[in-house]
């Protein structure tokens, strides 16, 4: 069976070319007949979405700060931009292609070029959305005999935009270059198994040449060099300060390492030498409390954003643990979340929230009182 472009060549030969020679007037009526196209929004798209669904109102905060809904994205189609002429013709003749979409996205990072890299355990791969260049790529290694990627969990970037992905099922870290080409695994041991029991959170410190990985089932944070040799471990099982009960997501913030201590219902932060420096959170399902904490991020004003999957909220705290505000609720409308997971804040204070069971990422603009701090980790 011919592919889509093979179909186009057949149509050109049998239909379009004869029309060009013998019936230019008829051709114009065929080729330029009205076609209804859905516009593809860019990062700076207006509020709402392509279907005209209204966006949530701006959140007006203390001191003139605001949080504005920017957009949502879910599929390959949204990144590709306005189709070119012959693509339109092909779509009319052969039908639109099947576009990839997020199934159950989990974690997100945004690189120095503004590309959104999203892990998707249900799709067994990683989506790369490049809205500026209107390109999309999907990374997968399902069919590989050695080092197959089975359940990509969390993602982090180094200073060269290399992509580091934990695989909670394979027990390894997969490393890809900035173009998405596979480079190596970290943590592979004899027999093809992985060193980690269940690696989840990951953070990369390019300046110090360190990789931090949380092993949820071992209740530890591993500190490694860039080759994967373990230099240090942080924490142990327990409920005290510096102890963990299922640690998950990680985030590097200046000299601090933030750890989501999931089943202790809190976030802890550590100095680079492993000393605990602070903790916040208490169990509960009301605003200001945590029941299923997931992703954590920090904005330009040093506020901590914590995603709670149960309540469908993103809660924002100061470093003393006081709730400043929250946004979202459980639901499927814009500005609402169903089991949200990962979060990333870029150097422009754009807040990316992985809305997992709504199969999308939602983007918000935070307008604070201080300028942004810089790019990806």
Mean pLDDT, residues 167-177: 97
pLDDT at 222: 98
133-139's contacts with Cβ under 8 Å and 24+ in sequence apart are: 134/40, 134/79, 134/80, 134/81, 135/79, 135/80, 136/76, 136/79, 136/80, 136/100, 137/179, 137/180, 138/76, 138/100, 139/163, 139/176, 139/180, 139/182
Answer yes or no: is pLDDT of 223 > 50.
yes
How large is the average pLDDT for residues 147-152?
95
At 351 the pLDDT is: 98
pLDDT at 3: 59
Instruction: Please give the pLDDT value at position 39.
Output: 31
- pLDDT of res. 144: 81
CB atoms within 10 A of CB 223: 20
pLDDT at 354 over 60: yes
- Residue 9 zone, left/alpha/beta (φ > 0; ψ -120 to 50; rest): alpha
Q: Among 2.40.420.20, 2.30.130.60, 3.20.20.20, 2.120.10.30, what is the CATH number of 76-323?
A: 2.120.10.30
pLDDT at res. 143:
82
Name residues whose C-beta falls within 8 Å of residue 312's C-beta, 6 or more positions apart in sequence. 328, 329, 330, 331, 336, 337, 338, 339, 340
For the record, the structure tokens of 29 come out as 């009526």
Extents of the domains making up the chain: 1-34, 76-323
At residue 43 the predicted structure's pLDDT band, cuts being 50, 70 and 90, is: very low
Q: What is the pTM of this model?
A: 0.84
> In the predicted model, what is the mean pLDDT of residues 235-264?
97
Higher pLDDT, 140 or 83: 140
Instruction: Tell me the per-residue pLDDT of 293-344, one tens digit each, with 9 for 90 and over.
Output: 999 999 999 999 999 999 999 999 999 999 999 999 999 999 999 999 999 9
304 against 82, higher pLDDT: 304
């Amino acid at each position: 069976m011919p592919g889509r472009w093979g179909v186009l060549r057949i149509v050109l030969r049998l239909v379009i070319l004869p029309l060009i020679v013998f019936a230019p007037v008829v051709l114009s009526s065929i080729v330029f007949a009205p076609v209804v196209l859905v516009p593809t929004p860019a990062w700076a798209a207006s509020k709402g979405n392509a279907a005209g669904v209204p966006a949530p109102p701006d959140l007006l905060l203390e001191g003139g700060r605001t949080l504005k809904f920017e957009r949502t994205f879910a599929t390959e189609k949204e990144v590709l931009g306005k189709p070119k002429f012959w693509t339109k013709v092909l779509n009319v003749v052969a039908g639109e292609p099947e576009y990839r979409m997020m199934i159950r996205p989990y974690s997100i990072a945004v690189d120095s070029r503004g590309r959104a890299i999203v892990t998707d355990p249900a799709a067994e791969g990683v989506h790369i959305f490049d809205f500026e260049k209107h390109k999309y790529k999907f990374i997968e290694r399902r069919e590989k005999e050695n080092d197959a990627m089975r359940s990509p969990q969390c993602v982090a970037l180094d200073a060269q935009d290399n992509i580091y992905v934990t695989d909670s099922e394979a027990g390894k870290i997969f490393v890809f270059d900035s173009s998405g080409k596979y480079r190596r695994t970290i943590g592979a041991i004899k027999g093809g198994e992985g060193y980690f029991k269940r690696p989840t959170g990951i953070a990369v410190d390019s300046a110090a040449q360190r990789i931090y990985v949380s092993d949820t089932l071992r209740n530890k944070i591993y500190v490694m060099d860039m080759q994967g040799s373990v230099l240090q471990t942080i924490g142990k099982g327990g409920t005290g300060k510096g102890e963990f009960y299922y640690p998950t997501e990680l985030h590097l913030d200046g000299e601090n390492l933030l750890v989501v201590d999931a089943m202790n219902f809190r976030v802890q932060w550590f100095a680079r030498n492993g000393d605990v420096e602070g903790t916040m959170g208490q169990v509960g399902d009301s605003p200001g409390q945590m029941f299923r904490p997931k992703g954590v991020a920090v904005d330009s004003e040093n506020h901590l954003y914590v995603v709670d999957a149960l309540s469908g909220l993103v809660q924002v705290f100061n470093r003393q643990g006081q709730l400043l505000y929250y946004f979202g609720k459980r639901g499927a409308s814009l500005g609402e979340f169903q089991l949200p997971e990962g979060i990333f804040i870029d150097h422009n204070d754009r807040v990316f929230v992985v809305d997992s069971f709504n199969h999308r990422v939602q983007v918000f603009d935070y307008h604070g009182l201080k300028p942004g701090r810089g790019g990806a980790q």
